[in-house]
């Protein structure tokens, strides 16, 4: 603990340096958690869309949800290579999501069992049960984990979705991706809600049971989604067909932006933190010139002097890292807690991010110590002893 005693000699200076690096590490933790959340979200989507195609009118990613006729399902089912096409409703819970990052809270209308076991994306039920075929026509809902928290949903209780009370029959385990923000209801109920959102003129001409917003297409085994996309495009022109590859192309870019921001912050804290540590240690070395002279005179090797200084510098980094991580973790927890009610769960602090942050700052500290350490180890003991 001599090391800490040495750091404590100049409390203000050590404290300022540590604070400076801690702020950088905090930013790293917060943005890293945000990037984690984004990337899990995207990779969850990527997994979901990998083995299927989704047919819509216009791009659903833009949030512009258009009705399509359920008759299209039958047409797509006739396309060669299609195992089964399943209609579904995807709609926003609120009319306006406001500023929202990630996935907004959604209502998903599904036909339970219609995928005939082809759906590979598994969602586990934390409490209650998942929707069943017999639920058709009943106002029941299975809540995603985040949205369940937002609505304080309990099994057997009710939640109000767009003015209609739904009985909660199940709450899902967190998936860390889109379904966490979904209220999953039988398609019959979603159709009724969706039609209500349409302009009166359109609404009057539509029978709710004939409306869907998307059709999920499961290819037969051995049929590539890309080939099937071409066939569907040819069979039912005018629709947007999205494959897993399309999804990755569209959202992969967002992931890269986050990674770039993160890299930028890391670089910035590297420069700022590194230089201020070099400065702190260089000043410490200058102040301790005589002391280094004594140590060298009574038999400390150059290597030993270097080691002491690098260790002290690494300790600055380690303490900064722990401090930055603590603040960053507290902030992400707080923001997530605050954001949960509005559906903005933006941060995911993984052990990997935490260890990276600590490792990064400790390594940075050690690295910054090398320059002053080499200077100190090259001091001539006699000259250093005479230093005033």
Partner 1 sequence: MAILEGRNLRKTYRLSRRNTVEALKGVEISIESGEMVAIMGPSGSGKSTLMHILGLLHAPDPNHGPAPELYLAGENVATLSDNARTKIRARRMGFVFQDFNLVPTLTALENVLLACDYAGIRGKQAKQAGLDALALVGLADRADHKPAELSGGEQQRVAIARALVNKPEIILADEPTGNLDSDRSAEVLALFREFNREHGQTIVLVTHDSEVGEACDRVIRMRDGRIRDYGQRAAAATPVMAIPAVAATA
Q: Which residues bind partner 1 (CB under 8 A)?
A: 2, 5-6, 9, 290-291, 293-302, 304, 380-382, 385
Least separation in angstroms between residue 5's CB and partner 1 is: 5
Of 269 and 313, the one with the shorter C-beta distance to partner 1 is: 313
Residues 343, 337: Cα–Cα separation, whole Å: 10
Q: What DSSP character marks residue 288?
A: T
Of 214 and 284, the one with the shorter C-beta distance to partner 1 is: 284
Task: Identify which of 91, 83, 59 has the alpha carbon closest to the alpha carbon of residue 217.
Answer: 83
Bridge partners, residue 217, by sequence: 53, 85
Task: Say how many CA atoms lie within 13 Å of 7 toward its Cβ.
Answer: 22
Task: Identify which of 74, 70, 118 has the alpha carbon closest to the alpha carbon of residue 223.
Answer: 118
Least separation in angstroms between residue 364's CB and partner 1 is: 25
Residues 311, 15: Cα–Cα separation, whole Å: 17
Token digits of residue 186? 């039988």
Token digits of residue 98? 């406001």
Least separation in angstroms between residue 298's CB and partner 1 is: 5
Of 150 and 295, the one with the shorter C-beta distance to partner 1 is: 295
Least separation in angstroms between residue 316's CB and partner 1 is: 16
Of 243 and 280, the one with the shorter C-beta distance to partner 1 is: 280
Of 92 and 300, the one with the shorter C-beta distance to partner 1 is: 300
Least separation in angstroms between residue 380's CB and partner 1 is: 8
Least separation in angstroms between residue 376's CB and partner 1 is: 14
Of 265 and 319, the one with the shorter C-beta distance to partner 1 is: 319
Of 255 and 381, the one with the shorter C-beta distance to partner 1 is: 381
Least separation in angstroms between residue 371's CB and partner 1 is: 20
Helices marked H in the chain: 2-7, 11-49, 71-78, 145-150, 187-197, 200-204, 225-235, 244-287, 289-297, 302-340, 351-377, 381-386
Query: Any residues with CB less than 8 A from the CB of 112 and at least 6 apart, and which?
Result: 130, 131, 132, 133, 135, 136, 186
């Amino acid at each position: 603990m001599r090391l800490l005693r040495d750091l404590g000699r100049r409390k203000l200076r050590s404290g300022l340096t540590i604070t400076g690096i801690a702020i950088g590490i905090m930013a790293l933790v917060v943005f890293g958690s945000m990037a984690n959340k984004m990337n899990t979200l995207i990779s969850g989507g990527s997994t979901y869309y990998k083995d299927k195609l989704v047919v819509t009118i216009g791009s659903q990613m833009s949030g512009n949800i258009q009705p399509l006729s359920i008759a299209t399902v039958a047409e797509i089912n006739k396309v060669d290579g299609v195992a089964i096409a399943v209609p579904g409703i995807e709609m926003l819970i609120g009319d306006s999501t406001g500023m929202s990052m990630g996935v907004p809270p959604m209502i998903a209308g599904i036909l339970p069992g219609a995928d005939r076991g082809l759906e590979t994306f598994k969602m586990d039920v934390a409490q209650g049960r998942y929707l069943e075929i017999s639920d058709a026509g009943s106002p029941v809902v299975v809540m995603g984990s985040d949205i369940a928290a937002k609505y304080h949903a309990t099994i057997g209780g009710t939640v109000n979705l767009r003015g209609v009370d739904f009985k909660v029959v199940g709450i899902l385990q967190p998936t860390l991706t889109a379904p966490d923000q979904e209220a999953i209801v039988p398609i019959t109920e979603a159709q009724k809600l969706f039609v209500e959102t349409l302009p009166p003129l359109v609404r009057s001409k539509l029978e709710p049971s004939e409306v869907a917003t998307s059709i999920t297409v499961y290819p037969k085994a051995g049929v590539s989604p890309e080939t099937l996309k071409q066939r569907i495009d040819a069979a039912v022109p005018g629709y947007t067909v999205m494959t897993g590859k399309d999804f990755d192309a569209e959202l992969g870019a967002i992931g890269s932006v986050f990674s770039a921001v993160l890299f930028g912050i890391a670089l910035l804290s590297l420069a700022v933190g590194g230089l201020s540590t070099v400065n702190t240690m260089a000043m410490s070395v200058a102040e301790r010139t005589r002391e280094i002279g004594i140590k060298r005179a009574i038999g400390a090797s150059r290597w030993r002097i270097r080691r002491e200084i690098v260790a002290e510098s690494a300790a600055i980094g380690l303490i900064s890292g722990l401090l930055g991580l603590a603040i960053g973790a507290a902030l992400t927890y707080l923001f997530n807690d605050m954001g949960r009610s509005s559906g903005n769960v933006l941060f995911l602090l993984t052990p990997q991010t935490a260890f990276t942050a600590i490792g990064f700052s400790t390594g940075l500290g050690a690295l910054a110590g090398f320059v002053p350490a080499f200077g100190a180890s090259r001091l001539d003991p006699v000259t250093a002893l005479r230093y005033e």
